[in-house]
Amino acid sequence: MTYSTVMLAAEQPLKNRVGIGRAISNSCTLAYRALLKMSKNPEILVDFVVLPVMFTLLFTFLFGGAISGSISNYLPIAIPGVLLMSSLTNCTTAGSKLREDANKGTTSRFKSMPIARIAPVAGSLTADLVRYAVGGTTVFTTGYALGYRPQAGILAVIASILFMMLVAWSLSWVFAFISMCTRTISTASAIGVVVMFPLVFLSNAFVPAETMPRWLQYLVLHINPLSGVVTAVRQLLSRGTLGPEFWFAGFGILVILAVFIPLTINAYKRKA
C-alpha cells in the first residue's frame, strides 16, 4: 500500500470561516446523499403515496355527503385540506434522519469536518421536498380519479403543490428542532402528532368555518395560521389568483425560517 503524502503545507490557504458558496454546495451534497439513500430504498416512498390516497378517499367518502351534499361538491373543499394534512404528516418525521446519523457516528464525523454547520440539517430537510412533491402529486391524482377538475387548471395545481412544498419545508425546521430537543425519535414523533392534529382539524381544512360557533370561527380563521394556507390554496385552484392569505402565508414562512433556522442549527451543534 502506498498512501499519497499529506498536505501539511496546505495546498489551499486555511480559512477560519465557511463562505456562503461553500455552505450551499455542502448542503446540496448532503441533500444528494439523502436522495441517493431514498433511491436505494424506494419502498419508503410508498408511505408518501399510500397515506395521501387513503386520506383523500376517507375524507371525501365519509364527509362529502354530510358537508357538501355530494362528493363532487366536497372535492374542491377537501383536496386543499388533504394536501395540507399529508404534507404535514410527512414533515413531522423531519428530524428522524438526523437522529439516525447522530446515533451512528456520522454526525460526529460531519462536525469534525470543515463544512458549514447548517449543511447536514439543510441537506436532509431539503431532500424531503421530494417526499412532499410525491405526496402532493398523489393527492391531486386521486382527486382527479374521483372527478375533481380545478377551474384554474393544471398550472394552478402545480403552483399549489410547490407552495405546499415550501410550507412543509419551513415547518420541517420546527419539527427538526423539536426532535433535537427530545431524547428519542418516538417522543419526537409523538409530539409531532400532538401538535399536528389540533392544528389541522381546528382549521378550515375539511369543514367550512361558517358552520362553526362564533368563538370557534374566530379561533379557526384568526388564530390558526394553517387556515390561511388552505384558503390561499383554494383560491389559487378555483380562481387562479393569489389572495391576501397567500402573501400572509409567505410572510409567515419567512418568520418561521428566520426564527427556527438559527434555533435548529444551534440545537444541532449542541445536541445531535
Partner 1 sequence: MNSNATLAVEAHGLVKSFGDKRAVDGVSLRIPTASICGVLGPNGAGKTTTINMLATLTKPDAGTAEVFGHDLLREAHVVRQLIGLTGQFASIDEDLTALENLMIFGRLYGYSRRDSKRKASGLLEEFELGDVANRSLSTFSGGMRRRLDLAVSLVSQPPLLFLDEPTTGLDPRTRTQMWQTIRTLVKGGSTVLLTTQYLEEADQLADNIVVIDKGQVVASDTPDQLKRSVGSSSLHLTVKDAANSANAAQIVQRVLNTKVQLARACELIAPMANIDRLTDVLTTLRDAGIALSRVNILQPTLDEVFFALTGKRSKDREKEDN
Stretch that binds partner 1, among 3-11, 138-146, 192-200, 235-243 (CB under 8 A): 3-11
Using rule CB under 8 A, residue 114 touches partner 1: yes
Q: Within a 10 A sphere around the Cβ of 20, how many other Cβ atoms?
A: 8
Give the nearest distance from C-beta 27 to partner 1 in angstroms.
Answer: 10
What is the C-alpha separation between 109 and 31, in angstroms, rounded?
A: 17
**Nearer of residues 5 and 211 to partner 1, judged by Cβ:** 5
Q: How far is the CB of 17 from partner 1 (least distance, A)?
A: 6
Alpha helices in the chain (DSSP H): 20-40, 43-68, 71-91, 96-104, 106-111, 119-127, 129-145, 154-181, 185-201, 214-218, 225-239, 244-270
Residues 8 to 47 in contact with partner 1, rule: CB under 8 A: 8, 10, 14-18, 22, 25-26, 29-30, 32-33, 36-37, 40-41
Name the phi and psi angles at 111, rounded to 5: -70, -25
Q: Which of 172, 76, 196, 162 is nearest to 122 (CA)?
A: 172
Q: What angle do CA 56, 57, 58 make, to 5 degrees?
A: 95
Burial 157-188 (b: 16+ CB within 10 A, else e): bebbbebbbbbbbbbbbbbbbbbbbbeeeeeb
Residue 90 makes contact with partner 1 by CB under 8 A: no
Q: Which residues does 99 contact at the CB level (< 8 Å), separation at least 6? A: 179, 180, 185, 188, 272
Between 34 and 77, CB nearer to partner 1: 34
Minimum CB separation from partner 1 for residue 2, in Å? 7
CB nearer partner 1, residue 109 or residue 149: 109
Tell me the window of 105-113, 129-137, 182-190, 205-213 that interacts with partner 1 (CB under 8 A): 105-113
CB of 46 to partner 1, least distance (A): 16
* Piece of 80-88, 114-122, 208-216, 239-247 that binds partner 1 (CB under 8 A): 114-122
Residues that bind partner 1 (CB under 8 A): 1-8, 10, 14-18, 22, 25-26, 29-30, 32-33, 36-37, 40-41, 104-106, 108-109, 111-115, 119
